[in-house]
Amino acid sequence: MDRVGIVGAGNMGESILKALLKRGVEKNDLCFIEAKKERALYIANTYGIDELHDVAELTKRSDKVVLAVKPQDAGKVLPEIGSSFTDSNILISIMAGITISKIISLAGRSIRVVRMMPNVAIKVNQGVIGITASADVSADEFSAVRSLFSSAGLIVDVDEGHMDAITSLGASSPAFFLLFLEGMIDAGVHIGLTRDKAKAISIQVVRGVIEMLEQEQMHPALMREMITSPGGTTISGLATLEAKAFKGNIIKAIEKASLRAKELSS
């Protein structure tokens, strides 16, 4: 079974830890390093896994090392990883915007790398994770890593050139969608509902739409047409949205986020 060490047990590190436990990785096969003392205590007490204090020790105990520190901390940790990795170790980086070649350059030697871009919903096992690997990770090893994270959500294989697309469509777009949801709730209040009711209705609308799309295997455009009757209420709302190029603005926002991700990783 896989032995996994996590460097940086913050928000994402903890979500990954939960996904690995859910996947059936034994507590004894897991360990972590965390810079914040209180945070480390919380993780060790909550999940009953070993806290280690140095990268070399963690590397020795783990086949796979998940790097979940902030991108700005990469320059400090990667040289330590580079000097303690053996040929059997694989680094799994979730750092936004740090390319595989940059990781290898900071590590100071050629190490095997899987790069993943998860979104926040891995916390509830409903995430989206873009995944790619350096050429020296074999197909079997790559599929073992995919399988290791399978309980965190949908895993999507991408070329590294498409990681920026995963960053914007997978990781940033929840914020765009949440803005839309906030707008729905405010609209409910604006037309006289209590905030609680407006929130409950808006969330249930979203839940129902997703459930129906999945159960009926329906395309969103088809479902929208189904509820848009001639001269009715829905088309008058849609016409208002489209007068301001609603769909075009979403396309532009996701494209803009993708370009920003590219800028940040260059």
Ligand X SMILES: NC(=O)c1ccc[n+]([C@@H]2O[C@H](COP(=O)([O-])OP(=O)(O)OC[C@H]3O[C@@H](n4cnc5c(N)ncnc54)[C@H](OP(=O)(O)O)[C@@H]3O)[C@@H](O)[C@H]2O)c1
Question: Are 222 and 144 contacting, i.e. CB atoms less than 8 angstroms apart?
Answer: no
Question: Residue holding tokens 């999507």?
Answer: 156
The 8-class DSSP code of residue 168 comes to: I
Q: Is 35 in the site for ligand X (CB under 6 A)?
A: yes
- Output the DSSP codes for 178-205: HHHHHHHHHHHHHTT--HHHHHHHHHHH
Tell me how far apart the alpha carbons of residues 25 and 1 are, in angstroms, rounded to a whole number: 7
- Which residues does 173 contact at the CB level (< 8 Å), separation at least 6? 254, 257
Residue nearest to ligand X (CB): 10
Stretch that binds ligand X, among 57-65, 71-79, 143-151, 184-192 (CB under 6 A): 71-79
Closer residue to ligand X (CB): 120 or 235: 120
Q: Is 213 in the site for ligand X (CB under 6 A)?
A: no
Closer residue to ligand X (CB): 69 or 107: 69
Q: Is 152 in the site for ligand X (CB under 6 A)?
A: no
Q: Is 203 helix (H, G, I), strand (E, B) or coil?
A: helix
Q: Is 33 in the site for ligand X (CB under 6 A)?
A: yes
Q: Indicate which single residue of 4, 31, 66, 68 sits in contact with ligand X (rule: CB under 6 A).
A: 68
Q: Is 219 in the site for ligand X (CB under 6 A)?
A: no
Residue 31's DSSP bridge partners are: 5, 50
Contact positions with ligand X (CB under 6 A) in 85-124: 94-96, 117-120
Q: Is 170 in the site for ligand X (CB under 6 A)?
A: no
